[in-house]
Amino acid sequence: MDLSLVKPNKLHFAALLVSTVLSIFLSISCSETTESNELKTISETNEASDYSIDSTSQPSAQFIVGSDLGAHRERFSVLTLHDGRIMAVGGKAIGLRNVEMGNFEDSTELLDVTTMTWKLTGKMNEKRRSPGIAQLADRTVIAAGGTGAAKVPLNSVETWDPGTEEWQLITPMNTARDSMGYVLLADGRLMVAGGKSIDKKGVLISSIKESEIYDPETKKWIEIAPMHEERVNHTATLLNDGNVLVVGGGKEDGPYSKTVELYDTTRDVWISLEPLSVGRALHTATKLLDGRVLIVGGRGKKTSSEIYDPRNKKWSTAGDTEYPRAEHSAIRLPDGSVLITGGIGHLTQVELYNPRTKSWSTIGQLSTGRYRHSSSVLNDGTAVVLGGISEDGILATTETLSFTGTIIELPDIAYKADLYGFNEYEVSESGNGNETINSADDSVTATATPAVTASSFNLSEPVDQVPGVGTTNVQLAVPVRLTKGKEIVAPDSLQRGIAVKFMYIVEDTRCSDCDDPGQAVIRINLRVPSGPLGESDMILTGDQSTPYVKKFGRYSVVFVSLEPSPGTTIESNPEQAIATLAVIQ
């Protein structure tokens, strides 16, 4: 078998989150340019000395109570869809007459990011606690395994169609499993590893090492090499080279394992790696912007954290959290910091890890202490914490997060090296108003002017955005006419390319019959498969005779035109603006 790896008003506090959390990170001098807001992200290296830290401002977090979920949920699964919505799937719910006796959910729901309200969508064919979920390249959502209504692991699998909002059973897994590791591979297949299972007689097995992969093209599950060790409540993380890092776990009630394995997707083999410092289960694994993986906490009142570096295959300490964490939640924010919420003991305290200073800080409190909850980050940077268990039982409540502090502007720079072709750069101040970006192979300079000239390139005829959806998927060099808040993904899908959203007009001084033609400036937001990149401004001259091009890693974004045409007052009707954007390589 071939296993080769082939708005400002609606969510204003969200904008504060993205911009202000940067105040604890680097402060890089950049010259005044007409582009007042460049890409607000920065490639990260292992050495804190590569950055200067703003020590004058300490971030603080204010949680705002959001709208309730449609169902009470704990140990449920959460996914941010390609169109930016958050999906909550299954989980354990409140039983009959609010008695918590293992009633599991078959319901699923979506967060409308415009109104920040939840809407129930189709019911699954099976009730599932902790299913493995992912959104596939065709935009369907797959839910595999989990514990079912009979309180045993499931092998059944189903997919949700965003068009019909209905779930349909598909080919089951070869092995029933719950509390497994799962990850969407770079080629669009879903991998599941380990978990707890049942034997042929239906007797519960504490943990297994069998693994398998779902291929959306053949719609079949393929058994792959088993792990070296049986594991449950472990983590699986997709590395930038396409391989999969599996950490900790062990048996359901211990002992917890400190062993670590790497699945080589090209050779179908598992490789034993340097172990953790301590055994961990029900910990979290978060991939940092530079591709390293942060491991936090675990059962046994652990405060320690450590980082795996794929380049040297070594572990290093990442310091201690102030509070012990297990069954908590960890999410990476757009600036690269890691937000830790909740944990056993119904913790309210929220901590933030700064990978550049290798330090932890307690930055605020949840409105409701919780564990076995979930969290996610919207495309605009808003952090959403939802569900879980509090002292009063299983929750339906949600909270959103904003920061207060000092804003630091960062220059345009390239994204970190990863599987998708972005170059690995380190940033240093050149002292001449530009930022010199160095890599092992070459060097370039990031300036306020386009990194790619638009003297000659071939673009197809512009097409209209797909009606009724937030994202339009196209090939490279196909311009798309976008209204505000819509985005283009090229080539094909986010798994392979880059997503570019037209956010709003910054400035429009175009004039069709003036000596000075003026210019149009729009703000765009960018993300890649491994996470958000940030925001940048695109500038188009008033006569629109030459498209504007700016390079972001391996791809360049082309600002082709802005409608209405020059001379039309657009400020009075900004919602009618149409920006035509394309992605080239």
In this predicted model, what pLDDT tens digit does every residue of 237-265 receive, in sequence order?
A: 999 889 999 999 999 888 999 999 999 99
Residues 153 and 173: their CA atoms lie apart, in Å, by 11
- What does residue 23 show for φ and ψ, rounded to 5 degrees? -65, -20
Positive or negative, the CA dihedral 197, 202, 204, 205 is negative
Architecture of the domain made up of 450-585: Sandwich (2.60)
Q: Which one-letter DSSP state was computed for residue 379?
A: T
Distances (CA, A) of 518 to 188, 449, 579: 44, 16, 17
Distances (CA, A) of 271 to 137, 244, 263: 29, 10, 6
Residue 434 has pLDDT above 80, yes or no: no
pLDDT score for 457: 65
Residue bearing tokens 């299954």: 90
pLDDT digits (tens, 9 = 90+) for 69-112: 999 999 999 999 988 899 999 999 986 554 445 589 999 999 99
Distances (CA, A) of 225 to 197, 313, 350, 460: 17, 21, 39, 45
- The two tokens of residue 275 are 């172990």
Residue 321 has pLDDT above 90, yes or no: yes
- Among residues 495, 502, 498, the alpha carbon closest in space to that of 480 is found at 502
pLDDT digits (tens, 9 = 90+) for 258-300: 999 999 999 999 999 999 999 999 999 999 988 899 999 999 9
Sheet of 304-309, strands arranged across:
284-287, 293-296, 304-309, 314-320
Residues 415 and 430: their CA atoms lie apart, in Å, by 19
Residue 245, judged by CB atoms within 10 A of its CB (0-12, 13-18, 19+), counts as: buried
- Among residues 36, 141, 163, the alpha carbon closest in space to that of 90 is found at 141
Residues 508 and 221: their CA atoms lie apart, in Å, by 53
- Among residues 215, 248, 216, 203, the alpha carbon closest in space to that of 230 is found at 248
Residues 349 and 359: their CA atoms lie apart, in Å, by 16
- The two tokens of residue 537 are 């401004």
Listed in order, strand segments (DSSP E) in 416-572 are 426-429, 435-438, 443-446, 463-464, 471-473, 480-483, 487-490, 498-508, 519-528, 531-541, 548-552, 555-563
pLDDT score for 170: 98
pLDDT digits (tens, 9 = 90+) for 107-162: 999 999 989 999 999 999 999 999 999 999 899 999 999 999 989 999 999 999 99
pLDDT score for 352: 95
pLDDT digits (tens, 9 = 90+) for 54-63: 333 455 678 8
pLDDT score for 124: 98
Helices vs strands, H then E, count in the chain: 1, 45
pLDDT score for 219: 96
Question: Which pTM was predicted?
Answer: 0.66
Q: Can you tell me the mean pLDDT for 38-58?
A: 34
- What does residue 297 show for φ and ψ, rounded to 5 degrees? 65, -150
pLDDT score for 13: 35
pLDDT score for 506: 84
Residues 310 and 365: their CA atoms lie apart, in Å, by 33
Residues 371 and 388: their CA atoms lie apart, in Å, by 5
Residues of the chain with CATH 2.60.98: 450-585
Residue 444 has pLDDT above 80, yes or no: no
Mean per-residue pLDDT over the chain, rounded? 80
